[in-house]
Chain A
Amino acid sequence: MSLQENAVNLLEVRGLTKIFGSLKACDHIDLAIAKGEIHALLGENGAGKSTLVKMLFGSLEPNAGDIFWNGQKVGIPNPGAAKKLGIGMVFQHFSLFEALTAAENIALSLDDGAPIGTIAAKARALSYSYGLPLDPDSLVGDLSVGERQRIEIIRCLLQTPQLIILDEPTSVLTPQEADKLFETLERLRSEGKSILYISHRLEEVKRMCDRATVLRHGKVVGHCNPREETAASLARMMVGNEVHAVVRQPVEGIEKAQSLLEVVNLNRQPATPFSIPLKNINLSVRAGEVIGIAGVAGNGQGEFFEAVSGEVLQNDTASVRIRGKNAGGLSITGRRLLGAAFVPEERLGHGAAPRMKLSENLLLSRHATDGKMFVGAGGMVNSSSIYSAAQRIIEVMDVRKSAPDPEAAALSGGNLQKFIVGRELDRKPSVMVVNQPTWGVDAGAAAHIRQALIELARSGSAVLVISQDLDELFEISDSIAVMHHGELSKPMPIAEATFEKVGLLMGGAETGHPEHAAEVA
């Protein structure tokens, strides 16, 4: 490699722009990545990070702007071209076939037609040399999320890329698994490979990355050296203003409070070959407290939510009790009538019907509980009272929108989430179960939602929050339990809980999975 080549950046992007309809997802982005650096791409959800890297990987075509690779202007029309240049990508959402083995999944993405045995051997060798042990013959369906991510990384490394793009790699990992990933990344850097690291977790960016580019609303708002910044100053760059911290007053005498939501020996058989069975879950949420359920995605949280909400009924009616009444055999409507409210993880298509107006989406979860007000005699819908109730929620939750009563799909994720949470809070439910309350929501709105949940609890309701975001759970919970492989640990009072302890439980320690415990230790 000549001196001259060393002087140019591996990848340089000038004025890259992508427009969707009337939205500028990326607006004249400039970015330079040197050889052998870990470069962070920071920004809130919706800031344009994913759009930018999709253009770099050839999955999206830019409307304007140039990409330079080793100083040469290049076009990247498709992912194949990106791979040829030496760009590899590990996506946030894995693209793996669960019914195939790891080696078969890897073989699918390579086009050299090598026999599967050779690929498996190569993958095994590579995985051990990078400290990411992987058995190429195991079925993907049997692997944990962290292990699945390893397949994606190995698959990417087998193509010997110069630049590796990682999209929010730690969002699905336990703290211990993340540490392991960081070691691998540092090794790759020492070999002279460049890494573009996308994240909104500031601590890990500060710890690992050499430079950072911060995006906000599709524009570059700054380049910096994250090691010289504080988490607060980075957050300010990302969000644009100070984010109010959530206030949580400790509660007193909670031991004597009445249990409003009880889950007793809840079991559920897996509905599909790849869903998680629930095993003997016990939990009690008292009036006035927030209990958080932590866990890596895909450990049964979705199944648990369905069982508690009544979207799936239980054979044992006493396995779910709401305000002291057996609710296991009641439908979701019956459980709502007992005073419970639910917010599912998926906003579009589950919590809200995308092509329906906000006012209609209000009716969605409240047609039974507010039947007198919203539905008149003979099943007539009272549109005007629904409309005014929807406007009230929009105002209280500060939902930003383009029309008085837009379709749910026209709102940004964060604003729709504010509406969906607000829709349930407006009822003043005595039991509230929320799955991923602030996933994909910008920091300001997230703080608003968290504060609202705490206040609901302090006003005498029982609040159960399922989340993968540990920071969030530590912020709002009075106790934290951990879900792993469909089992729930005993709730730990927040005063005793640490990231370390919760992380170990997330990795499977104590709940009877010695192989995982050994792995994370």
Chain B
Amino acid sequence: MRLELVKRPQRSMLFSMLSPFIAFALTIIAGAIMFAFLGVNPATALFTYFISPITEVWQIHELAIKAAPLILIAVGLSICYRANIWNIGAEGQFVFGAIIGSIVPVLYPELQGPFVLPMMLLMGMVGGALYAGIPAFLKARFGTNEILTSLMLVYVAQLFLDWMVRGPWRDPKGFNFPQTVQFNSSAVLPELMPMSGRANLGFVFALIAAVLVWFMMSRMLKGFEVRVLGSSPRAGRFAGFSLNRMVFFAFMLSGALAGLAGISEVSGAIGQLQPSISPGYGFTAIIVAFLGRLNPLGIVAAGLVLGLTYLGGEAAQSVLGISDKVARVFQGMLLFFVLGCDTLIHYRIRLVGLGASKPQVAAKLEEAR
């Protein structure tokens, strides 16, 4: 007996829809096994992990806070990945956008008024876009591998932020803690429903970005260009589209969205710059993008699921006393199973006995007719 992959003549719409759900189910099963090995009752653990974090209204707000940056970043990444451009450095663009967006509230805290916040957001986007422009330039000009350059620039951005908050931007009245001044009230992202929880405007940005990018990808010539260049670059060149321009477009647009996520996180959830401002949103967003089938609307749902793994990790730590690294394990398993299940879209799995028996062959012949 062996398994055989048989190519489907057309991609399967059914499995295109089902594959994320199958992947999620497999992740739950593998997670249950993992909890059993950790010596916790899998049922309680899964309940603590996936259900208890969303049983109260304020917790839903927390989920929105976690999901917003994931969705914003993943929507941008989906453009890159559709164009077959591998931006792995959204974490760095997130951080750099946060730094540039924080220039106004950190250096000019006396500036106040309704114009401050839009200016910060815009600067955050520009910062993220410019930082993403570095790997884009290196790829377009020298043919460097963007996976390596964008990834390495993540560490540069993180260490730069670390140095800024310990050095030049440290709050002079902050008892030597490595952090900047608290942003003043006009530099803080407003909360949506302050009565029931902390969720802020960032989640609205994420939804708007998802809808706009969905519209661009499915209805506009630009989206067509992205898809053609991504799926068959030579046909794209024949169509008169430029791959180099696409590299800049995809990188800088996704960088801008990551930068927006960065400055939103800092001005919304945190309120100041610290040595670390992200629990790996830029990397987790890669999983979100693929779990959402690189479709901006699917990404909204996927972002909420992955946001839940962060909350579940915190809950598992406080209630069950297991490491919050469990969240990373779940995220990793989810990506693994999503990519694995995607095989089903293009292939059927068939069990083949050694030396297929005659009736089977006859059945195949019948089917082929």
Q: Is the interface of A mostly helix, strand, loop or mixed?
A: mixed
Mask of B1-14 contacts with A, CB within 8 angstroms, 1/0: 00000111111000
Judged by a CB distance under 8 angstroms, whether A512 is at the interface is no
B-chain residues with CB within 8 Å of residue A356 when the two chains form the complex: 227-228, 231
With the chains together, A383 CA to B218 CA distance in Å? 10
Judged by a CB distance under 8 angstroms, whether B145 is at the interface is no
Judged by a CB distance under 8 angstroms, whether A14 is at the interface is no
Contact B221 A367 (CB under 8 A): yes
Contact B231 A354 (CB under 8 A): yes
A-chain residues with CB within 8 Å of residue B219 when the two chains form the complex: 380-381, 383
Judged by a CB distance under 8 angstroms, whether B238 is at the interface is yes
Contact A21 B240 (CB under 8 A): no
Query: How many A residues, CB 8 Å from partner?
Result: 42
Contact A332:B240 (CB < 8 A) given known A64-B361, A381-B219: yes
Query: How many B residues, CB 8 Å from partner?
Result: 28
Instruction: Report the number of A-B residue pairs with Cβ-Cβ less than 8 Å.
Output: 91
Mask of B233-276 contacts with A, CB within 8 angstroms, 1/0: 01111111000000000000000000000000000000000000
B318 to chain A, nearest CB (A): 47
Q: Which one of B221, B235, B365 contacts A351 once the chains associate, using CB atoms below 8 Å?
A: B235
Contact B238 A364 (CB under 8 A): yes
Contact B8 A365 (CB under 8 A): no
Q: Which one of A64, A309, A350, A378 contacts B234 once the chains associate, using CB atoms below 8 Å?
A: A350
Judged by a CB distance under 8 angstroms, whether A407 is at the interface is yes
With the chains together, A364 CA to B7 CA distance in Å? 26
Judged by a CB distance under 8 angstroms, whether B205 is at the interface is no
With the chains together, A368 CA to B225 CA distance in Å? 12
With the chains together, A380 CA to B231 CA distance in Å? 21
Judged by a CB distance under 8 angstroms, whether B232 is at the interface is yes
CB within 8 Å of B: which A269-303 residues: none
Mask of A435-468 contacts with B, CB within 8 angstroms, 1/0: 0000000000000000000000000000000000
With the chains together, A294 CA to B364 CA distance in Å? 45
B-chain residues with CB within 8 Å of residue A363 when the two chains form the complex: 221, 224
A274 to chain B, nearest CB (A): 18
Contact B365 A365 (CB under 8 A): no
Judged by a CB distance under 8 angstroms, whether A158 is at the interface is no
> What residue in chain A is nearest B361 (Cβ atoms)?
A64
Judged by a CB distance under 8 angstroms, whether A355 is at the interface is yes
Contact B224 A367 (CB under 8 A): yes
Task: Offer 26 A-B interface pairs, CB within 8 angstroms, sorted by A.
Answer: A17-B361, A19-B364, A19-B368, A23-B368, A64-B361, A331-B240, A332-B239, A332-B240, A333-B240, A336-B240, A342-B238, A350-B234, A350-B238, A355-B11, A356-B227, A360-B224, A365-B238, A367-B239, A368-B240, A375-B221, A379-B222, A380-B220, A380-B221, A381-B219, A381-B220, A381-B221
Contacts A19-B364, A367-B224 supplied; 19 other A-B pairs, CB < 8 Å: A21-B6, A22-B9, A22-B367, A23-B368, A311-B237, A332-B239, A336-B240, A349-B232, A349-B234, A350-B234, A351-B235, A355-B11, A355-B232, A356-B231, A364-B228, A364-B238, A379-B221, A381-B219, A410-B9
